[in-house]
Amino acid sequence: MAAMTTVIFDMDGVIYRGSETLPGVVDCIRNLRDHLIKTGFLTNNSVRSREDYIERLRRYGIDSEIHEIMTSGEATARYLISLGYNGQRIYVIGGKGLATTLTASGFEVDTLDEGNPCDFVIIGWDREISFNKIARAQHEILVNGAKLIATNADAMFPTQGGRLLPGAGSMVAAVERASGTSAEIIGKPRDLSLRYLLDELGSGSDDPSSVWVVGDRLDTDITCGNSHGAVTVLVTTGIASRKDGEQADGMLRPDHIIDKIAELPDLITEADK
Q: Give the span between the Cα atoms of 97 and 50, in whole angstroms.
A: 8
What is the pLDDT, as a whole number, of residue 269?
Answer: 85
Band of residue 263 on the pLDDT scale cut at 50, 70, 90: very high
Band of residue 273 on the pLDDT scale cut at 50, 70, 90: low
Band of residue 34 on the pLDDT scale cut at 50, 70, 90: very high
Is-contact 97 151, C-beta < 8 A?
no
Helix (H, G, I), strand (E, B) or coil at 11: coil
Q: DSSP secondary structure string, 57-76? A: HHHTT----GGGEEEHHHHH
Q: What are the tens digits of pLDDT across the range 131-144?
A: 999 999 999 999 99
What is the pLDDT, as a whole number, of residue 1?
Answer: 57
Buried b (16+ CB within 10 A) or exposed e, 37-47: bbbbbbbbbbb
Smallest CA-to-CA distance from 4 within 42, 44, 41, 33 is with 33
Is-contact 39 23, C-beta < 8 A?
no
What is the pLDDT, as a whole number, of residue 188?
Answer: 98
The region, left, alpha or beta by phi > 0 then psi within -120 to 50, assigned to residue 155 is: alpha
Percent of the chain surpassing pLDDT 70: 99
Q: Which domains does the chain have, with CATH numbers?
A: 6-44+188-272 (3.40.50.1000), 73-185 (3.40.50.1000)
Average pLDDT over residues 251-262: 97
Q: What are the tens digits of pLDDT across the range 73-132?
A: 999 999 999 999 989 999 999 989 999 999 999 999 998 888 899 999 999 999 999 999
Q: In residues, how long is the chain? A: 273
Smallest CA-to-CA distance from 263 within 61, 25, 62 is with 25
Band of residue 256 on the pLDDT scale cut at 50, 70, 90: very high
Average pLDDT over residues 161-182: 93
Band of residue 153 on the pLDDT scale cut at 50, 70, 90: very high
Q: What are the tens digits of pLDDT across the range 187-221?
A: 999 999 999 999 999 999 999 999 999 999 999 99
**156 — phi, psi (to 5°)?**
-155, 165
Helix (H, G, I), strand (E, B) or coil at 221: helix
First to last CA, the chain: 11
Helix (H, G, I), strand (E, B) or coil at 243: helix
